[in-house]
């Protein structure tokens, strides 16, 4: 791995990519909103050189310009609702437009790949008497596609970290169990069979918004 300032001649086993996971919607099947009956899981694959060299500095600069510090979490729901610390978006249309344009410009310039899964929970529940958990289906699908992409990028044998947002004790434990079962080829229960042993997979919890 090159480009991250290692002074040692020993090559570390880390992948030179980071993967971030995020979700939209509730993965439960007991009930769901008719207006949003889907669960979405997205994995963002970004090269570390691009992450530390351009993406993080651009986001930090945006935060410093608009908030005076870089501890703000750019959460889409809070931005859309213009709730604190984004209340200033309500007061000035020109400022709001400039802020949103700046975010769009950062994303547009960023180098990353997206692998996603969208589960229609209503269709899933109607089709199967005992359907699998939408989160389990989504993470298996995303990991399958990600594994194939990492092999295309020549990342075989590397330690690949996947950063998840913490959701709570029991949910985090269930997610880690599912993730590790898939990564060890125990949880590949779909029709497709992907050998995940080509990479070393490690889930990493990201701080909750209240902890960041």
Residue spans of the domains in the chain: they are: 17-59+113-206
What's the pLDDT score for residue 115? Answer: 97
Retrieve residue 52's tokens: 């530390």
Check residue 211 and give its pLDDT: 44
- Residue 38 sits at the vertex; the CA angle it makes with 33 and 39, to the nearest 5 degrees, is 115
Q: Indicate the CATH number for domain 17-59+113-206.
A: 3.30.420
pLDDT at 163: 93
pLDDT averaged over consecutive 10-residue blocks of the chain (212 residues)?
Answer: 51 87 81 80 96 96 96 90 93 94 96 94 84 88 93 90 82 84 76 82 68 44
pLDDT given at position 186: 81
């Amino acid at each position: 791995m090159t480009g991250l300032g290692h002074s040692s001649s020993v090559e570390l086993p880390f992948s030179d990519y980071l993967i971030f996971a995020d979700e939209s919607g509730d993965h439960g099947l007991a009930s769901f909103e008719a207006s949003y009956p889907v669960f979405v899981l997205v994995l963002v694959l970004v090269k570390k050189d691009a992450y530390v060299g351009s993406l993080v500095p651009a986001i930090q600069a945006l935060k410093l310009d608009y908030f005076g510090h870089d501890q703000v979490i750019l959460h889409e729901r809070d931005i859309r609702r213009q709730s604190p610390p984004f209340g200033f978006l309500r007061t000035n249309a020109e400022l709001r437009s400039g802020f949103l344009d700046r975010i769009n410009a950062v994303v547009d310039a960023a180098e990353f790949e997206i692998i996603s899964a969208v589960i229609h929970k209503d269709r899933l529940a109607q089709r199967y008497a005992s359907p699998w958990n939408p989160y389990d289906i989504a993470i298996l699908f995303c990991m399958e596609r990600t594994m194939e992409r990492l092999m295309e990028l020549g990342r075989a044998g590397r330690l690949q970290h996947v950063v998840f947002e913490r959701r709570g004790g029991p949910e985090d434990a269930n997610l880690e169990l599912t993730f590790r079962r898939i990564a060890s080829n125990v949880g590949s229960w779909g029709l497709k069979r992907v050998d995940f042993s080509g990479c070393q997979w490690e889930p990493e919890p990201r701080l909750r918004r209240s902890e960041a």
